[in-house]
């Protein structure tokens, strides 16, 4: 039986600014009203980043809006959230991050079944000329699709 995947937040800028080498799926340790807010789609990961501290993985800057119907149980929207990964995965990632120029960034937040998950990417920063090349490739592909569409209309 296939589990349903409901996308909540997507980090499009990450693909523009970084080369994504590997991706991992991690759970998020959340409190009650944060889960309700996520179910309503109130999440942003644009400015967030991930650090490994003391053998545990944390996400910083992930904004989960306070739940409207919540009261004193609402948590700080920008609080540091723990990510849940296997120890072997954390050790593997730690070894890869030790290489200069690599970082961890969140790519997607989604529900897999009833569980909140984050897809994190092991990324290497792009230089300005890499970004220009990507933009040029996109423009070429867009022009080719446009010409193909025009030819097929007649």
Query: Is 79 within the bounds of a domain?
Result: yes
98-114 pLDDT tens trace: 888 788 999 999 988 88
- Using a CB cutoff of 8 Å and minimum separation of 24, what contacts does 61-70 make? 62/106, 62/109, 64/30, 64/34, 64/37, 64/38, 65/37, 66/33, 66/37, 67/33, 67/34, 67/36, 67/37, 67/40, 69/36, 70/33, 70/36, 70/37
Query: Is 34 within the bounds of a domain?
Result: yes
Alpha-carbon gap, residue 66 to 36, rounded angstroms: 9
CA 124 to chain centre: 15
* This prediction's pTM: 0.76
pLDDT average, residue stretch 57-65: 89
Residue 27's DSSP bridge partners are 84, 117
Query: How many folded domains does the chain comprise?
Result: 1
Query: Is 139 within the bounds of a domain?
Result: no
Confidence tier at 125 by pLDDT (50, 70, 90): confident
Query: Is 39 within the bounds of a domain?
Result: yes
CATH label of the domain that carries residue 47: 2.40.280.10
Query: Is 131 within the bounds of a domain?
Result: no
Q: What pLDDT was estimated at residue 27?
A: 92
Q: Please give the residue range of the domain that contains residue 55.
A: 5-126
Query: Is 27 within the bounds of a domain?
Result: yes
Confidence tier at 119 by pLDDT (50, 70, 90): very high
30-50 pLDDT tens trace: 888 888 888 888 888 888 889
Does position 118 have pLDDT exceeding 60, yes or no? yes
Query: Is 145 within the bounds of a domain?
Result: no
Alpha-carbon gap, residue 34 to 30, rounded angstroms: 6
Query: Is 29 within the bounds of a domain?
Result: yes
pLDDT > 90 in the chain, percent: 18
């Amino acid at each position: 039986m296939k589990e349903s995947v409901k996308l909540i937040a997507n980090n499009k800028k990450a693909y523009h600014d970084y080369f994504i080498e590997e991706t991992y799926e991690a759970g998020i340790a959340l409190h009650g009203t944060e889960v309700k807010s996520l179910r309503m789609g109130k999440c942003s990961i644009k400015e967030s980043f991930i650090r490994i501290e003391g053998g545990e993985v944390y996400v910083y800057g992930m904004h989960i809006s306070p739940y409207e119907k919540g009261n004193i149980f609402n948590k700080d929207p920008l609080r540091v959230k723990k990510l849940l990964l296997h120890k072997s995965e954390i050790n593997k990632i730690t070894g890869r991050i030790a290489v200069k120029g690599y970082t961890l960034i969140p790519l997607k937040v989604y529900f897999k079944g009833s569980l909140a998950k984050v897809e994190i990417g092991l990324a290497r920063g792009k230089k300005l000329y890499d970004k220009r090349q990507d933009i040029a490739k996109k423009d070429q592909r867009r022009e080719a699709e446009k010409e193909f569409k025009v030819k097929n209309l007649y």
